[in-house]
Amino acid sequence: MDDNALELKKPNGLEEASTALASKAEAEVQARVLVAKRFPRDYNEAWRRISRSCKTQTLATRARFSYPRKKKGGGTTTITGGTIHLMTTIAAGWGNIEYGAAIISVSPDHVVVRGSAWDMETNVLYHRDAVIKKTQQRSKGGETTWVDAGERDWQEIVANRASRLTRVALEKVIPRDIIDDALLLCDRTVAEGDSKDPDGTRRAIVENFDNLGIEATTLELIIGCELRRATKEQIAELRGMHHALKDGEATIKDYLPRATPDEMEQLIDGKIAEGRKAGGKPALTPGDFDEDQLWLLGKYLKGCLGLAPEDKESWLAAYKGTKGALLAEAEKWRDAEESKTAAAAGESKTPPAGSKAGAAPNQQGEMGW
């Protein structure tokens, strides 16, 4: 055999390194399995560790997610469960579990991500794969298009999906009763904390959603009342909604009723008005309108209803409709008055036969528009 043939059979440095890493990884897995078999979990001690964590506000307030899903026959159902924060805490307390996520395949237009969990004591292994495209949906002008995701958005998409896959894998290897009991304990912990400082809880929720670009009025539309009157169940619903949005389980559109922007604004105004009336407060106040809107309302109330300026506030307090409906009435009246003024100006421009044209009329009319 010649020297060239011998050279081809020699492993290069990369192959040697790969073989060494594979051997090391195999030895580590065998060692972990051996330790798991020699030191099996104590169920009572495992639950003690888990429950101790679930009694802290830090974990309890981040433990549950919830989002709506449409039923095939119509209507919606609520999907709820433990977040990745809760599941990893349970896994640490349960012990002898290996879990994580990894990219197992890469192509120019997508990657394949795998989330897995392995109970080394019972040798139960579960993994789930997901194909993640390198594009995102964008809506503009009522049309939905696919665009390339930026590097930062792409990293966030992959990280969120990897966390969700890992969460699902952990749910498959950890006993369901352990997860359910941990969720119930977290719910009790949150309820105790909310009862001690309800105002602080509401402020924290508003701040959390504000960080996601969601206003308080949108939350009030979803729960159907003002935040200050929200029940503990509604607070829990908002908290689960926040975690679902943050972890990429759902989008804000999943929680909102289907409506146009104008209809959505009317819905929000209506919910706010209902909440104020239920609390014994005026449905509308001058503070709900900007300067231009107040000017228009002043003209409308005086010109159409004959109200004096000092009666404006009391009339708004007794108004039965919404802010949007009132402004629509005022704008409709304004348009009618402008049409009358324009028609009158047009007639005055045509002098009777044999007469001389007079001075140009005031094009703005007596209302000043």
Express each pLDDT in 355-366 by its tens digit: 444 433 333 333
Express each pLDDT in 126-165 by its tens digit: 999 999 888 776 665 556 666 777 778 888 888 889 999 9
Express each pLDDT in 10-59 by its tens digit: 455 556 666 766 677 777 777 777 877 888 899 999 999 999 999 999 99
Three-state secondary structure along 102-146? EEEEECCCEEEEEEEEEECCCCEEEEEEEEEECEEEEEECCEEEE
Taken in order 253, 259, 261, 265, the sign of the CA dihedral is negative
Which whole-number Å values give the CA distances from 324 to 104, 131, 262, 305, in the listed order?
53, 45, 9, 18
Express each pLDDT in 179-231 by its tens digit: 999 999 999 999 998 888 888 888 899 899 988 888 888 888 788 777 888 88
Could you give the angle at which helices 261-278 and 216-223 cross, rounded to 10 degrees?
80
What is the domain partition of the chain in residue ranges? Answer: 197-252, 261-345
CA angle 225, 227, 230 (to 5 degrees): 70
- Residue 177 in this model has a pLDDT that exceeds 90: yes
Q: Which pLDDT value is given to residue 197? A: 86
Of 243, 188, 207, the C-alpha closest to 62 is 243
